[in-house]
Amino acid sequence: MPFTILLTGFGPFPGAPTNPTGPLVRELARRRHPAFAGVRRIAHVFATSYDAVDRELPLLLARERPDALLMFGTRATRQPHSYRNPRAQCD
C-alpha cells in the first residue's frame, strides 16, 4: 500500500476573499515529481468554519487512513513572519 498524505486547506473567509490554501493543496496533490513516486496524495478544502473541520476531518481520516496529515491555513492580517503550530501528534 502506498504512503498516503492528506493535504487540507480552507475556502475564502472575511478578510481573505481568495484563500491561497485551497489552490495550494490541490496543486500539491496534482503535481508530478519523482519525489512523489509511490505517494498517494489527497487534497481536501474545508469550508472555513470549525464545524466543517469537526464534521469532515474524522470522516476523511477514517475513509483515507492517511500516514500523514498536513493542514494549511492562513489568517486575514499579514504579519512579517510565518506561524507554525507548535503541536504535533505522532503515533
Query: What are 44-80's pLDDT values in tens digits?
Result: 999 988 899 999 999 999 999 999 999 998 876 666 5
Q: 32 phi and psi, to 5 degrees?
A: -100, 135
Closest alpha carbon to 27 in 41, 11, 10 = 41
33 vs 91: which has the higher pLDDT: 33
Q: Is the pLDDT of residue 87 over 60?
A: no
Q: What is the model's pTM?
A: 0.79
Cell numbers standing for residue 30: 496534482
Contact yes or no for 41/8 (Cβ under 8 A): no
